């Protein structure tokens, strides 16, 4: 459990580790780790499993989430008259450093959405907000500098405030983890509005 986060000091969050997907037996009971098939989430898929858990309630929908992002990106980029065309064109021009069989490779957003287990950066949150009509809060956590260890060092938001809010942690700019408010219905929870006075 985590609390005391900037802008939500009195809210207790559950932060999912987002590193494995529980397997279930034929009766629906969770199979203990090590007793069944591998439950490990493949490297590079943590963003998709985090969003799948927040949007669909299960990390197993991660492939659907990634496909929905690709479909949205292609829909917008195929139509220069689309209101989001300029934004998506810019986002797609940013190359993201990822890995392919232990070799570094740079991919744009469109290439990364088609590449198995390609890492994404936080710019993908723009598309997530558009695809699902949500307001994304992203807490960047655990900076590389010693004085920022175990502290939030940046907050970003994406989307329209008057929609459903989802919260993510971006640990070490390497691993996305979903965060769910512990004492609220997470589907109805809203973070406070960001204002200059509050920041």
What are the structural domains, with CATH classification, of the chain? Answer: 40-181 (3.90.70.80)
Q: Which SS3 state, helix, strand or coil, does residue 51 take?
A: helix
pTM of the model: 0.81
Residue 101's CB: how many other CB atoms inside 10 A? Answer: 5
43-84 per-position pLDDT tens digit: 778 999 999 999 998 888 999 999 999 999 999 999 999 999
Query: Do residues 129 and 158 make contact, with C-beta atoms less than 8 angstroms apart?
Result: yes
Q: How far is CA 23 from the centre of its chain?
A: 22
Q: Which residues contact 166 (CB under 8 A, 6 or more apart)?
A: 51, 54, 55, 134, 135, 136, 137, 178
Top-ranked range on mean pLDDT: pick from 44-48, 134-138, 143-147:
134-138
**Edge-to-edge strand order for the sheet containing 134-141?**
13-15, 175-181, 164-171, 134-141, 152-158
108-125 per-position pLDDT tens digit: 999 999 988 888 889 999
């Amino acid at each position: 459990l985590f609390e005391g986060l900037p802008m939500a000091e009195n809210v207790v969050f559950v932060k999912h580790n987002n590193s494995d997907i529980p397997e279930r037996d034929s009766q629906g009971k969770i199979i203990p780790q090590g007793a069944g098939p591998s439950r490990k989430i493949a490297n590079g898929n943590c963003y998709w499993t985090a969003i799948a858990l927040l949007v669909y309630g299960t990390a197993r929908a991660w492939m659907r989430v990634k496909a929905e992002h690709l479909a949205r990106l292609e829909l917008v980029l195929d139509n220069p008259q689309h209101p989001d065309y300029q934004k998506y064109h810019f986002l797609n021009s940013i190359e993201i450093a990822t890995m392919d069989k232990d070799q570094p490779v740079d991919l744009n957003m469109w290439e990364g959405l088609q590449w198995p287990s390609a890492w994404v950066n936080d710019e993908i949150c723009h598309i997530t907000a558009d695809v699902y009509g949500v307001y994304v809060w992203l807490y960047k956590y655990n900076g590389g500098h010693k004085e920022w260890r175990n502290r939030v060092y940046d907050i970003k938001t994406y989307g329209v405030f008057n929609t459903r809010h989802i919260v993510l942690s971006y640990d070490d700019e390497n691993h996305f983890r979903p965060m769910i408010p512990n004492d609220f219905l997470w589907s109805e929870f809203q973070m406070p509005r960001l204002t200059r006075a509050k920041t």
